Amino acid sequence: MTGLPGLALAGMLVLALAQGHPARAAEPADLTIEAEVSPPESFEVDGRMGGITGEMLTRALARAHVTATIAPVPWQRAYGDALANAATCAYPTSVTPERLPLFKWASPLGQNDWALIGTTEAGIKLDSLEQAKRYRIGVYQGDARQSFFEAAGGYQVETVNSNELNLTRLEAGRIDLWAASLYTVWFERQRGVGNLRVVLTFRTVDLGLACNKSVPDETMARLNRAIQSLIADGTAAVIEAPYR
C-alpha cells in the first residue's frame, strides 16, 4: 500500500451489522464501542472501520449478528468508559494479565509487537531490554507500554498525551527511544518518514475488544466464535497481509 485513506474518524459511525442488513432506527445497538484512532490497527476508510483490528471487528460483528455504534474518542476516555459504562467497549486494547480481570474480552483482533524505535542518525543498538535503562523512552500516556515499563522499574519513561508527539520528540532528540507498535515504523514510512529504525522488539500481545462486565456472556461468546472463524478460514491473514 502507498497510503492510508481517511485516517481521521469523523463523527459517529453506526455499524448496523445484524445479518448484514441496516438496523431499524428505533432499534438500539447492542454495544457502544469507543475506538482509538491508531493506524494501521484502527482507522476509517470509505465510511467504515478499517485497519487490522477495525476490519476484524467489523467482520466479527457482522458474523455474530451484533449491532454497535462506534465513536472516535481519546484512548484514556475509551478505556475509562469501558470500565464504567454498561454495554460499552473499547478497542484496540492490548490484552495484558493486568487488564484481563477488568473486562470481558473478544480477541484476538490482531497481534501487536512492542518495539523500541530509534532514528538512523542516533544509531542506538540494544542486545537486551535491560540496556534500554540508559535511555529516555517516550510512551503514550495511558498506553499498556507505560504500565509495563513503570511496573518493571528502572526505566526513564517520559509520557505525552498524543502519540504523534513522540515522533516529534524523537526526531528532535528530546527522547532517545519511542516505545510503540512495530507497525508504527511501517505506518510512518507510508507517510514518508524514512529515518526510523527498530532497535529492539521486546514483547508480543494480542489486541482485543475490551467490554464492560455488564455485556451478556452470550454476546461475547458469539463475538469470540466469529473471530475464531475469521482466523480459521484465512480472512484474518488476508486482512493483515497488506501491513507486513
Domains of the chain, each with CATH number or no CATH: 13-111+207-243 (3.40.190.10), 113-204 (3.40.190.10)
Beta bridge partners of 155: none
CB 67 within 8 A of CB 61: yes
218 and 65 Cβ atoms separated by less than 8 Å: no
- First-residue to last-residue Cα distance in the chain: 10
Contact 188, 198 (CB under 8 A): no
**pLDDT string in tens for the chain (244-residue length):** 333 433 333 333 434 343 344 444 547 899 999 998 888 888 777 767 678 999 999 999 999 999 999 988 888 999 999 999 999 999 999 999 999 999 999 999 999 999 999 999 999 999 999 999 999 999 998 899 999 999 999 999 999 988 889 999 999 999 999 999 988 888 888 888 889 999 999 999 999 999 999 999 999 999 999 999 999 999 999 999 888 7
Within 8 A by CB and 6+ apart from 186, the residues are 40, 243, 244
Sign of the four-CA dihedral 210, 213, 215, 218? positive
